[in-house]
């Protein structure tokens, strides 16, 4: 029996954010973690991965050997700094030119498959797929139609430009990778996607980095008191992630703790991002308005080893997002043995075992959140049981498992693409011509975006 085909080399496209960026800053978040962790896991299995991302600093080296088998190519497209994500569609032509030129320096068939992340990357991958004669696998990470259906109060809707762009990528991709069955259903119902071309691949956590540890040592390292209750939010500071809901919900709990002579601390870990940049001090101002400033500590985005200490130091982690394709924070926290209270949206219903490792809250009513959080904090036995269950639940979501599922999806994409396009590789080689012509083409301005 013939073994299914596996790629030798994958072109992974991540236009708007680099996997080398610190999650929680700018547009860097869970997608950065996903791209980096899957790339390194695939490389360990013998698949070379080249990641194309937009250079955001003149100091970025054009090519970075980021890990064994993983190369990051920083493509110059537009100004290095000060470019909002919504401005990036105007730079897709320049970015695509950089991607095509990189491939043009190699013999035909250098890449076996393209995996694009987010709709901007899908637009680039779509063109590269047609030029190179290889399959395109796409992961949306978030969908405009889903976000627009559950906007936070005062947040800005995603533009129709993105909705149309996403629809084009859905129509063109050879396979779509989603995090959950819920996301697959959303693709079918909102974008008329072919369910037969959708693969559910659950994300994971680095279970070596995120693991249970000493709460006292973690709190000492973070400068927190050992006797206080710690309630934590981790993520980008923007309306979509709803950290304001947590502060409002925590206010009456803080007031009660004060009256009872008990100490409580709310940790907000992250930086302003997206529409949150319009009011970067909004959370600080809200804490002051609620009269809880002395009980709230703001920390900047943390590297993974330090973030693990944040989770270990916490009694409870809150993920109140309005929309979340999966929710890596929830898995990371549970991997450290910390229960999670999360909004019952998107992939969070998979990431959190409701009643077993935390609680899911229906909606964003502040009183409901106060009740859910206070109910757990007031029931130490139940919280202790959830803490014991949390690590076991998180172990179902490893990046090794994600890599295995991705390889299955890649194999299916290669098989179906070859069946539909038996002459694709030969046609691509003929179209590109000799090595001399390929070098000449690499110096040309590519006028297709």
Q: Where are the domains of the chain?
A: 9-204+399-425, 215-395
CATH 3.20.20.140, domain 215-395, yes or no: no
pLDDT confidence bin for 440, thresholds 50/70/90: very low
17 labelled ligand-binding: no
pLDDT confidence bin for 420, thresholds 50/70/90: confident
Tokens for 315, please give them.
């009694």
- Supply the pLDDT for residue 291: 96
303 labelled ligand-binding: no
Q: What is the mean pLDDT of the chain?
A: 90
241 labelled ligand-binding: yes
28 labelled ligand-binding: yes
How far apart CA 87 and CA 85 sit, in angstroms, is 5
pLDDT confidence bin for 424, thresholds 50/70/90: low
Predicted confidence (pLDDT) per residue in 309-345, tens digit: 999 999 999 999 999 988 999 999 999 999 999 999 9
Nearest CA to 194 out of 184, 181, 202, 180 is that of 184
Strand 264-269 versus strand 229-234 pairing type: parallel
> How far apart, in Å, are the Cα atoms of 297 and each of 36, 202, 245, 267, 365?
29, 32, 16, 5, 23
- Supply the pLDDT for residue 87: 85
Q: What is the torsional sign of CA 185, 189, 193, 194?
A: positive
27 labelled ligand-binding: yes
The dihedral over CA atoms of 242, 245, 250, 252, expressed in degrees to the nearest 10, equals: 170
Mean pLDDT of 410-432: 73
Q: What is the torsional sign of CA 249, 250, 251, 256?
A: positive
314 labelled ligand-binding: yes
CATH code for the part of the protein at 9-204+399-425: 3.40.50.2000
What percentage of the chain has pLDDT greater than the value 70? Answer: 90
pLDDT confidence bin for 192, thresholds 50/70/90: very high
22 labelled ligand-binding: yes
- Supply the pLDDT for residue 86: 82
312 labelled ligand-binding: yes
Strand 70-75 versus strand 48-54 pairing type: parallel
- Supply the pLDDT for residue 279: 67
107 labelled ligand-binding: no
pLDDT at 260 over 80: yes
85 labelled ligand-binding: yes
How far apart CA 147 and CA 236 sit, in angstroms, is 16
Q: For 152, how many CA atoms within 13 A lie in the half-sphere containing its CB?
A: 20
142 labelled ligand-binding: yes
- Supply the pLDDT for residue 28: 63
96 labelled ligand-binding: no
236 labelled ligand-binding: yes
367 labelled ligand-binding: no
The 10 Å CB-count burial string (b at 16+, else e) for 89-125 is bebbbbbbbbbbbbbbeeebbbbbbbbbbbbbbbbbb
Predicted confidence (pLDDT) per residue in 157-181, tens digit: 999 999 999 999 999 999 999 999 9
- Supply the pLDDT for residue 430: 46
- Supply the pLDDT for residue 432: 43
- Supply the pLDDT for residue 152: 81
337 labelled ligand-binding: no
Q: What are residue 113's DSSP bridge partners? A: 10
162 labelled ligand-binding: yes
153 labelled ligand-binding: no
pLDDT confidence bin for 83, thresholds 50/70/90: confident
How far apart CA 232 and CA 228 sit, in angstroms, is 13
Same fold, 9-204+399-425 and 215-395: yes
Mean pLDDT of 126-130: 96
pLDDT at 120 over 80: yes
pLDDT confidence bin for 429, thresholds 50/70/90: very low
Nearest CA to 75 out of 128, 25, 138, 136 is that of 128
pLDDT confidence bin for 428, thresholds 50/70/90: very low
- Supply the pLDDT for residue 431: 41
pLDDT confidence bin for 277, thresholds 50/70/90: low
Nearest CA to 242 out of 142, 314, 323, 317 is that of 323
The 10 Å CB-count burial string (b at 16+, else e) for 350-363 is bbbbeeebbbbbee
């Amino acid at each position: 029996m013939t073994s299914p085909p596996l790629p030798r080399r994958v072109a992974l496209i991540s236009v708007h954010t680099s996997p080398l960026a610190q999650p929680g800053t700018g547009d860097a978040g869970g997608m950065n973690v996903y791209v980096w962790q899957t790339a390194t896991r695939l490389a360990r299995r013998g698949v070379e991965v080249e990641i194309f991302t937009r250079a955001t600093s003149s100091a970025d080296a054009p090519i970075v050997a980021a890990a064994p088998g993983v190369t990051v190519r920083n493509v110059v497209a537009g100004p290095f700094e000060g470019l909002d994500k919504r401005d990036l569609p105007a730079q897709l032509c320049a970015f695509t030119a950089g991607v095509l030129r990189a491939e043009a320096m190699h013999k035909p068939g250098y890449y076996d498959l393209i995996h694009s992340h987010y709709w901007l990357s899908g637009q680039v991958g779509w063109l590269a797929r047609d030029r190179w004669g290889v399959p395109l696998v796409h992961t949306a990470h978030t969908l405009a139609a889903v976000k627009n259906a559950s906007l936070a109060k005062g947040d800005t809707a995603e533009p129709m430009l993105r909705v149309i762009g996403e629809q084009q990528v859905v129509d063109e991709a050879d396979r779509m990778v989603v995090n959950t069955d819920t996301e697959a259903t959303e693709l079918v119902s909102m974008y008329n996607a072919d369910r037969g071309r959708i693969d559910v691949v659950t994300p994971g956590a680095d279970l070596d980095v995120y693991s249970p540890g000493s709460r006292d040592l973690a709190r000492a390292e973070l400068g927190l008191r050992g006797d206080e209750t710690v309630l934590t939010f981790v993520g980008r500071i923007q309306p979509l992630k709803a950290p304001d809901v947590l502060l409002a919900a925590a206010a009456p709990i803080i007031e009660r703790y004060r009256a009872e002579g008990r100490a409580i601390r709310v940790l907000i870990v992250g930086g302003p991002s997206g529409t949150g940049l319009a009011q970067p001090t909004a959370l600080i101002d809200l804490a002051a308005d609620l009269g809880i400033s002395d009980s709230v500590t703001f920390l900047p985005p943390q590297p993974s080893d330090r973030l693990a200490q944040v989770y270990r130091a916490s009694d409870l982690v809150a993920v109140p997002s309005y929309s979340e394709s999966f929710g890596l924070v929830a898995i990371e926290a549970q991997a450290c043995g910390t229960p999670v209270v999360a909004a019952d949206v998107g992939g969070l219903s998979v990431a959190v075992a409701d009643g077993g490792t935390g609680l899911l809250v229906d909606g964003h009513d502040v009183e409901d959140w106060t009740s859910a959080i206070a109910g757990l904090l007031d029931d130490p036995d139940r919280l202790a049981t959830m803490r014991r269950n949390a690590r076991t639940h998180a172990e179902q979501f490893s990046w090794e498992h994600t890599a295995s599922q991705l390889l299955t999806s890649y194999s299916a994409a290669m098989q179906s693409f070859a069946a539909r396009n038996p002459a694709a590789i030969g046609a691509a080689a003929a179209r590109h011509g000799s090595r001399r012509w390929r070098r000449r083409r690499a110096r040309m301005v590519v006028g297709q975006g």
